[in-house]
Amino acid sequence: MLIIFYYFLSIATLLACYYFRRARFTEQDYKYNKPLRWKRRILIIWTYLFAAIHGSICFRENLFTNIDNDYIRASAGFFMVVYIFAVLWAEEITHPFDKKKK
């Protein structure tokens, strides 16, 4: 049951990053909507936290690696790489507005 919850949270985090990217919030949304900015910041922190959890599963001894299950370690490595791109995706949201012509 723990493994199902682990995969659910991993995939839900990626879907949340995808939502923030595809929602096409404008500069006005991020400038004047304070709860939206905080949701994005919390999502980025949450993604970093999960990337650290996946890194610990890949590289250290813990509950998952004691059972000699290489599939969990491989999926943790996959999610770690995907989270790098998801964080870059979520952090880049406001940067396109900086390149506007004045």
User: pLDDT tens digits for 1-42?
Assistant: 777 888 898 899 888 888 877 777 776 777 788 888 788 888
Tokens 């952090």 identify what position?
Answer: 91
Q: Given pLDDT bands bounded at 50, 70 and 90, which one contains residue 99?
A: low
> 95 or 25: whose pLDDT is higher?
25
pLDDT surpasses 80 at 48: yes
Alpha helices in the chain (DSSP H): 2-22, 27-32, 34-59, 70-91
pTM of the entire structure? 0.72
- The pLDDT score that the predictor gives to residue 62 is 63
User: pLDDT tens digits for 49-93?
Assistant: 888 888 888 877 666 556 567 788 888 889 888 888 888 877 765
Name the token pair of 40: 């994005």
- The pLDDT score that the predictor gives to residue 18 is 84
- Beta carbons within 8 Å of 36's beta carbon, 6+ residues apart: 25, 29, 30
